[in-house]
């Protein structure tokens, strides 16, 4: 039997340590491919340095490289944060989850607070999640026994809280009798703003 093709006999590629130019090329390729924040870019470059090593005599200036990219407009935390918050809201995530996501992207506290959704947007996102997951008045399944209904309500309440919605909003959505009631609840918050 011929075993020549049974296993791959690739030669192990040697990984060369990074140099200043290659580090900048990696950063440029990263920001060209992904919408990112300054903190995420810094974490990416730090990870690449840890994986590949550094060939230069002095330590790499990751902070300076990130600052140059911010100055050139390649990286903008505010634009990234707005897009990220908007995307999460439209998918039904709540304010707490959005804040966690922006914190993980290393967005500064004042900017995170400024990007946080208002009450109307919070309520809309709770309704979006309920519609998507068929919670509350969007549930079209047949009636359940009181015990099953209670267990299901608790699971749904937990799912909404995990998605970042506050307890009162989640409870209101789940207890709403009709879709119109939820629409009025959202409109009430819009009118208050």
Mean per-residue pLDDT, 65-90: 97
Q: What is the mean pLDDT of residues 100-112?
A: 97
How much is the average pLDDT of 4-31? 81
* Residue 8 clears pLDDT 70, i.e. is over it: no
CA-to-CA distance for 76 and 191, rounded, in angstroms? 32
Map out the domains of the chain as residue ranges: 20-75, 78-192
This prediction has a pTM of: 0.84
DSSP string for the chain: ---TTTS--PPPPPPPPB-HHHHHHHHHHHHHHS---HHHHHHHHHHHHHHH-B-SSSPP-HHHHHHHHHHHTS--HHHHHHHHHHHHHHTT--HHHHHHHHHHTT--HHHHHHHS--HHHHHHHHHHHHHHHT-GGG--SPP--HHHHHHHHHHHHHHHHHTT--HHHHHHHHH-SSHHHHHHHHHHHHHH-
Question: In the prediction, which pLDDT does 183 show?
Answer: 97
**Tens digit of each residue's pLDDT (9 = 90 or more) over 117-131:** 999 999 999 999 999
Can you give the pLDDT at residue 128? 98
């Amino acid at each position: 039997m011929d075993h020549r093709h049974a296993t791959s006999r690739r030669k192990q590629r040697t990984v060369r340590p990074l140099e200043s130019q290659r580090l900048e090329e990696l950063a440029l390729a990263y920001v060209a491919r992904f919408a990112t924040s300054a903190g995420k870019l810094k974490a990416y470059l730090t990870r690449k340095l840890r994986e590949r090593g550094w060939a230069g005599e002095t330590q790499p200036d990751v902070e300076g490289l990130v600052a140059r990219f911010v100055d050139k407009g390649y990286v903008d935390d505010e634009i990234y944060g707005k897009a990220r918050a908007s995307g999460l809201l439209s998918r039904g995530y709540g304010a707490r989850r959005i804040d966690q996501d922006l914190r993980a992207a290393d967005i500064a506290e004042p900017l995170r607070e400024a990007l946080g959704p208002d009450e109307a947007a919070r309520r809309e996102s709770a309704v979006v999640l309920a519609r998507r997951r068929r919670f509350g008045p969007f549930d079209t399944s047949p009636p359940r026994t009181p015990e099953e209904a209670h267990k299901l309500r608790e699971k749904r309440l937990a799912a909404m809280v995990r998605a970042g919605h506050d307890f009162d909003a989640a409870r209101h959505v789940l207890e709403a009798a009709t879709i119109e009631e939820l629409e009025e609840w959202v409109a009430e918050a819009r009118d208050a703003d």
